[in-house]
Structure 1
Amino acid sequence: MQDPFKGFNDNNDNNNGNGPQGLPLPPNYATVVNPETGNMRIAKVGFAWIALLFPVVPPIFRADWYNLLCILGVNAGVQMILMMTVGNNAEIVGLVQLGLELLWGFIYNMMYFKHLFNKGFVPADERSRDLLTNAHYWKAPKN
């Protein structure tokens, strides 16, 4: 298969067959695998645009129930605090909502990978390991 991301993956323009069945991956996607079960996950590293616009959609599509409950809990807690303190002041509520949406956009992918690492996943290849290390998502375990 022709690599649609040719020229974006590495300096040597090597074949980027890091995905399932050797399919090419975009340069900002990492592959992690659980060595015990053989489960593989592929996800973007960096800003989550869908989490910015619709914070609950990425965890639902990824079956990431832990982080979905975290997002819903934080949003509900902030809404309760806002209702008790500022009431119906739409400007303040809107700014706080925008701040929460930006927060989820910036940290959701990191939350997803960190939860996978806690469940025993590790980077599947050297390219993913380098990408996750450079983004400060992965810290190699000390022996």
Structure 2
Amino acid sequence: MQDPFKGFNDDDNNNNGNGPQGLPLPPNYATVVNPETGNLRIAKVGFSWTMFLFHPFPTIFRADWYNLLCIVGVELALQMLFNMFVPGDQRVAATGSVELGIALLWGAIYNMMYYKHLFNLGFVPADDRSRDLLTRAHYWKPKSTD
């Protein structure tokens, strides 16, 4: 199969790695695997536009129930604080700003939350390219071998 990402941060050495069934991965996607179960997950590293635009649906599509409950809990707490401390006549004007702030928050940190939860479940980077990408993004800290 022809690599659609040729010339996009690729150096003819297949630096983008191979996904399932040999399909090429975009340069900002990492693959993690659970060595005990063989379960494989592929996700983007960096800002999550889907979470920014459609929160909390990406958590549902990824079956990421832990982060869904965390996100719903934080959003409920923020909405309660907003309703308690912002007077009623100013609430309508400030609602858009608060929603934009919440969307930016989830867009900025959701992919990191997803990977960190996977690492807590026993997942590890599947290949060197994914390990390097996750390390550079500060999602993965290599375990020191003493």
Please give the range of the TM-score, normalised by the shorter of the 2 chains: over 0.9
Which structure 1 segments of 5+ residues have no match?
none
Tell me which residue corresponds to 1:80.
80
1:56-87 Cα deviation digits (max 9, x unpaired): 11101100000011111111111111111114
Specify whether residues 124 and 23 from structure 1 end up closer, same or farther in structure 2 by C-alpha distance, changes over 3 A only: same
Per-residue deviation at 1:23? Answer: 0.8
**Runs in 1 of length 4+ with deviation above 4 angstroms?**
none
Quote the sequence identity (%).
Answer: 73
1:71-126 Cα deviation digits (max 9, x unpaired): 11111111111111114322223212211110000000000000000000000000
TM-score by length of 2: 0.92
Equivalent pair of 1:51/1:105 in contact (CA under 8 Å) = yes
Tell me which residue corresponds to 2:108.
106
TM-score by length of 1: 0.94
Opposite residue 62 of structure 2, the aligned amino acid is R
Equivalent pair of 1:32/1:124 in contact (CA under 8 Å) = yes
**C-alpha distance in 2, partners of 1:139/1:58?**
25
Tell me which residue corresponds to 1:141.
143
How many residue pairs get aligned? The number is 142
**C-alpha distance in 2, partners of 1:26/1:116?**
20
Alpha-carbon RMSD: 1.2
Tell me which residue corresponds to 1:28.
28
Per-residue deviation at 1:9? Answer: 4.0
**C-alpha distance in 2, partners of 1:60/1:66?**
10
